Chain A
C-alpha cells in the first residue's frame, strides 16, 4: 500500500517528502509564501510573521514553525492573511529609510519586492524611522541600520553557519538593533569579512563597500595602465545579473566588457591559482618529508586566515605560507608587468574581480603592501563589476566573447575549479599524484573531494603512502573540525577550508540570489569549464613553467618565497588593544577616573567623586580635566582609588587628588 502522506494547499494535494516544515511543502506546491526571516540554511526564527497560513481547525499559524501533518488543510490566501501581510510590510516600511532609488539593493530588495507584490500603494502609519549614522569603518562592509528590518538572518548566518557571532541583537523592544559587540565598528570586532551576512540580508542594511569609483578614476587616468584579474567563480555567476541562468559561463563576455570599460589587460586569477597549486603542493611535500607541521591548512581564503589568526593562533604554523591566488597575482603583476607593459611601477594599477568581500580586506593587509602601495590596488566584487557594466550601457549578453591576455591569462582546469569547495584540494591532488608517483597518465579527476557536505573526508594513496584529507566549507564547520583535531578524535594531513558555503561560488560578492539551487548550478558549471579546457593540471601550464624560468627561479626558492609566500600574526584577545589604549592615549585633557566599584564605593569613592566634581566645577580646572566614574583598578584594599593621567592614587582624599592634579598639570606646562 502506498502510504504517502499529503496535505491540501488551497485545495490542491501536495505531498509531504520529509520537509522540515509546512512552509517548504507549500512552496514545493508552487505557492510562494513570502518570508523575510526564513532561510533554509538557518534555524527557524519565526519573527517576520509573513508566512502565516490558515490551518483548518487551528487557525493562523506561522508555516515556518509548524510540522506538516498528513491531511492538513491549509489556506494561504484569505482576506485575513492578506490583511496581516499587508500590515506587516506597511509597519516595516513605516520604520524604514525609503531611499530606494539610491539603495544598492534597489533591484534585489525583498522588502521592496514584497511591497510591490502585495500591492501596497501607501503606508498608512506614521514614519518613525530615526536617522542613524552609517557604519563603514571597515574596508569591506557597510552597515546601514536605517534599512535593517531585524529579521536576524545575518545574526544567525554569522553565528550558526560561520560560528563567529560578530554581530548580534542588542537592546530590547523598539530599540533593538543588530550590532557588533558594544556597538563598535566591524573592523574592531571578530568579523572575518566573509560578508555572508550581506548575502542573506533581504534589504540594503548590510552591503559590501564599493570600490567602483576608485576604479573608474584609475581607468580615466591617462597615465595609468590598469590590469585586471578575474577570479574563477565570477565567470559562472555574473550572467545572473543580465538575465542568464546561474552557471552560465561568460568568461569571453567578461573580457570583452572589461576591454570596453577601458582595462588595458585582462588576466585570469586561475593562472595564479595554478601557481598556488605548485607552491602549496610543494610545501606539502616538504612538510611531509621534513617533519613540518601537519596538517597543512590551505590559505587561499582570507576569511579563514583571519579566523585562524583570531581563534586558533596555535595553528598558524599549520597554515600554508602561500599567498592566496589574488595576492600571488598581485605581487607577480607588480613585479613583471611594468617591464612587459612598459609602464612605471607607480602607474600600474592592479584590479581584481572577486566573488568575495573578504578579498578587500586581504588586499589591504600590511603584508601585501610594498612601499605603502598594495599589490592589488582595488578589489571589485562580481556585483560591482556587473554594476559598472550596467552603468556603461553595455549589452553584456550579446557581447562577442574575447580571449584573455597572455601570459597571466592562461590557466589549466585545476585553477578553474578553485572556486568550488574541494577544488583546491583536487587541484593539489592532481599535482601531488604526479610528483609523488611520477605517473602522468592517470585520470585527472579526484571526485572523492567534491560534494556539498560541510565536512568531507578522503583518503588518497600515492606511492604506497596514504594521506588523509578533509575539505570544509563554512567556518562553523571549520571550528568543529579544529576542535576535533585538538581533542585528538581525528587526524589529517591536508585540510582545505573555504569560509563560504559552497566555496567561492557562494561568496558574498556574487549576484544576489534567493534560489536554493543557484550554488549547485554554479558549482557544476566550474567543473564543466574544467572539462572543456585542454589542460587540467597546474604543472602542465606552460606559462607557469616559463614564469619560474624567467622570474621566480626554483619552486619554493628565495624569490618565490619573497613574492608568493607570507606570514601570519595572532589576533587573539583582540580586546588587549582596547585595554592598553586607555593608558597610551595622549589626551588633551587630563583624564581622571574615579573607581566606583563596590569596595571603593564603600570606602567613600562616590563621595569623593561628588566632591571632586563640585570642586572642579567651581575652579578654573573645568576645561583641563575630564572626570569620569569608572570601575575597578584592582587595588580594592587601598580604596578609594583614583587614576589621574597614568598615575594611580590609592586611599585617595580630595586633597591628595587635587595635589596630584595640580602637579600633573604643572608638568604638562
Chain B
C-alpha cells in the first residue's frame, strides 16, 4: 500500500530541481521551534559559511547560484510530525534524520555529515524497543508504517515559498479546475471520489458542494475552517503551517466548483505561525496571479481573506464560525437553513476543514479511481491523526482510513507508556478519539477498522482526529470530568441544555468523584446526558455528553466503584483515597506526625505509624515530609 501511495504521489509531484552540493532541511513547525529549531537554523547558516560554502535559503537563490558545487541548500520545512524528537534536521540526498539537534551539534553535522558523508550515530533516533539507531524516515517505525499523502510535502517544502510549491507541480489541479473542468464536473468528481469531511461527522464533501452549487445567486463564499479547537488535535495546524498553498489550492477548486468569488480562511488565534504563513501564502498567490481578480488567467475572481479567531472553541461549529466572521458573538444558529443555503452574509457558503481542502488537489490530480484505492470503500483516502498521551511516539501521523487501532498504537506509536514514560506491555486502557466530542476506544476495539461508519456504530467519531492514549492509571470518571469541564467552559451559553446541562453533569461527576453520589446520581447523569445529546442546538452541545456516555458504556464498573464502593480503582480521585502509611516503608521517624496539623498520625518513635482516616484532612503535609515514600492516599 505504502509503496503504491508513494508512486502515486511521485506521479503528480516532481522532486525539486536544485543544483546544490547538498541540502539540509530543518523542521520549523511550532513543536520544533519550541524546542529551539530556529537557533539550529541560525547555527547552520554560520557553520556552512564557515566551511566555505554559499547558503541558498530559497529556491531561486539555489537556481541562480553561480557555483552550485559549493552551495548548500538550507531549507525550512513545516511540521514533520515527530515533535517530541525535535528539533529535526534532515541531511539530503543521503536522507539522514537527526533528532533533538542542538546548536552545538551543528558544527559536527557540517563537517562530519555534510562534508565527509559520515553519520553521527548519537544524533540518530533510537528505536525504543530494539534500541537500534535508525538512519532516516524509512527506518523509523513511526514513519515507516504511515502513509503520508496530505502531509507528505509538509516535511519537505519550504512553506513560505510559493516557488517550491509551483515547481513541484502545485496549482496544477487548480489550473485544471479553472480551465478544463466545469463546476458540475468538479462536484461530480469529488462526490464520486467518496471524500468525506475530515473535520467532524464525515459528511460527503461532494454533496455539500453540489448543494451549494445549485443555489441561485451570484454571490457565494468558500470558508476554510481552520479553527481546530479540539484539545489534543493539531493536524490542521501542521497543514496550514507546513503546506499553506495546498489549502489555498483546495479553496480555489471549491470556489470554482460552487461559483464563489470570495473565500475566508478562519484560523484560531492559538496558531500565530499558521496565520502568518497563510497570510504570506495568500499574498504570494495574489502576486503570482494565482488568486485575485483574474485567477490563473481564467478571468474569474477569487479574493481570499485570512481571519484570525479570537479564542472560542465553539467557532469550530460552522454556523458559529460564520457569526464570528460577520463580527458577532460566535453563537451557533439553528440548522436548517444550512450554510449551503444561507451562510455567510446570508449567501450560499461551503465550509470545509483544512485537511479536506488540502486533499482536494490530490484528488483532482490523481483522478477518482486512483484516489479510491487508498483507504476503504466507504471511507476512501487517508486521515491524519494527532497521537499523544501515554504513548512512546507522540506526534502527527497520516494513515489510510480503515487501519486498526492496534497498528496505530503499537506499530506507529511504539506502545503504551507508564507515567515515567517507560513502555509497558499491559498498560493500555483507552484511546480518546475525536476530542471532547468523541468517545473512548478500549481494548475490545483494538482490531476495529478506523473509519467514519464503524466508529459511529460504537458511539464514537473520528472528529478532527485527536488520539489521546491513556494508560491503566487513568480514572475514567476523571477523564469524563475533564472533558465535561472543557465543553462546559467552551459552551457558548446559548441553549439551555448545553449551558445548564453540561454544568449539572459536571456537578454530578464531581459528586461521584467526591464520594457523595448515590444510585440516583448515576441514573440522573445518564438521563441528563441523553437529553443533552438529543436536544442541544449545535454539534458541540449534542456531542458534549459523548465522553460521559462512552465511559459509562465501557467502564460502568469503575463508576459503580466510585458510587457504591466509595473508591477510585485508578487511585486518582483524591477524596476517595484512604490515607495509609506503609508499615514496610515507615521507619518511625515521627516527622509526619509532627507535620500533621490535625494530629491524625500516631505511633511510637522507631515503629510504624498509622493515620486515623476519620481525622485526616488529606492536606498532604505528611506525604510531603516523608523521606521514605511511606504515605499514600493523601
Contacts and interface: CB of A to CB of B under 8 A. Distances in A.
Direct contact of A and B (CB under 8 A): yes
Interface of A: 44, 46-49, 52, 59-60, 62, 64-67, 80, 83-84, 87-88, 91-92, 94-95, 124-126, 128, 149-150, 152, 169, 171-176
B497 A49 contact: yes
A172 B312 contact: yes
A91 B493 contact: no
Given A91-B496, A150-B493, A66 B336 contact: yes
A522 to B, nearest CB: 33
A87 B501 CA distance: 9
Given A62-B334, A65-B334, A83-B527, A91 B534 contact: no
A-B pairs, top 8 by smallest CB distance, nearest first, are: A176-B493, A65-B334, A46-B334, A91-B500, A173-B491, A47-B495, A173-B493, A87-B531
B286 interface: no
B490 interface: yes
7 contacts: A67-B336, A87-B531, A88-B497, A91-B504, A150-B496, A173-B491, A174-B503
B49 interface: no
A336 to B, nearest CB: 54
Contacts of B536: 49
B53 interface: no
Contacts of B14: none
A59 B520 CA distance: 28
B333 interface: yes
Nearest to A43: B333
Interface size of B as a range:
20 to 34
Nearest to A177: B493
B336 A174 contact: no
Nearest to A172: B493
B559 to A, nearest CB: 18
B507 A128 contact: yes
A149 to B, nearest CB: 8
B537 A62 contact: yes
Nearest to B507: A126
A209 B506 CA distance: 38
Given A87-B527, A88-B497, A94-B500, A173 B334 contact: no
Contacts of A91: 496-497, 500-501, 504
B494 interface: yes
Nearest to A80: B534
Interface in B530-551: 531, 534-537
B334 A150 contact: no
B534 A47 contact: no
A91 B334 CA distance: 21
Nearest to B500: A91
Nearest to A59: B534
A173 B499 contact: yes
Interface in B554-586: none
A173 B495 contact: no
Most B CB atoms within 10 A — which of A62, A95, A124, A149? A124
B340 to A, nearest CB: 15
A62 to B, nearest CB: 6
Contacts of A125: 504, 507, 524
A473 to B, nearest CB: 27
B504 A94 contact: yes
B329 A169 contact: yes
A126 B504 contact: yes
A173 B489 contact: yes
Contact of B491 (A59, A149, A174): A174
A350 to B, nearest CB: 45
Given A64-B334, A174-B488, A84 B535 contact: yes
Given A92-B496, A125-B524, A150-B499, 13 more contacts: A46-B495, A46-B537, A47-B495, A47-B496, A48-B495, A49-B495, A62-B334, A84-B534, A91-B497, A173-B491, A174-B493, A176-B492, A176-B499
A48 B536 CA distance: 9
Contacts of B334: 44, 46, 62, 64-65
B528 interface: yes
A52 B531 CA distance: 11
A392 B422 CA distance: 81
B610 to A, nearest CB: 36
A52 B535 contact: yes
Interface string B328-364: 0101011110000000000000000000000000000
A59 B488 CA distance: 25
Contact of B492 (A44, A49, A94, A173): A173
Contacts of A84: 497, 531, 534-535
A80 B499 CA distance: 20
Contacts of B491: 172-174
Contacts of A48: 495-496
A174 B492 CA distance: 8
Nearest to A64: B334
A356 to B, nearest CB: 31
Residue among B329, B494, B528, B534 having the largest count of chain A Cβ atoms under 10 Å:
B494
Contacts of A169: 329, 331, 493
A175 to B, nearest CB: 7
Contacts of B500: 91-92, 94-95, 174
Contact of A174 (B499, B524, B527, B535): B499
Contacts of B537: 46-47, 49, 62
Contacts of B527: 83, 87
Contacts of A92: 496, 500
A598 to B, nearest CB: 17
Nearest to A89: B496
Nearest to B493: A176
Interface string B584-599: 0000000000000000
A87 B495 CA distance: 13
A471 to B, nearest CB: 30
Contacts of B488: 173-174
B493 A171 contact: yes
A65 B333 CA distance: 9
Contacts of B333: 46
Nearest to B333: A46
Residue of A46, A67, A128 with most chain B CB atoms under a 10 A cut-off = A46
Contacts of B531: 83-84, 87-88
Given A65-B334, A65-B336, A173 B497 contact: no
B492 A172 contact: yes
Contacts of B535: 49, 52, 60, 84, 88
Nearest to B538: A46
Nearest to A96: B500
Nearest to A93: B500
Contacts of B329: 169, 172
A152 B329 CA distance: 13
A88 B537 CA distance: 13
A148 to B, nearest CB: 12
Contacts of B528: 87
Most buried by B among A60, A128, A152, A174: A174
Contacts of A174: 488, 491, 493, 499-500, 503
A146 to B, nearest CB: 15
Interface in B477-518: 488-497, 499-501, 503-504, 507
Centre residue among B335, B496, B504, B528 by max chain A CB count within 10 A: B496
Contacts of B331: 169
Contacts of B490: 173
A277 to B, nearest CB: 44
Contacts of A52: 535
A664 to B, nearest CB: 40
Contacts of A62: 334, 537
Interface string B233-257: 0000000000000000000000000
Nearest to A49: B535
Contacts of B499: 150, 173-174, 176
A174 B500 CA distance: 7
A255 B315 CA distance: 58
B591 to A, nearest CB: 37
A48 B498 CA distance: 10
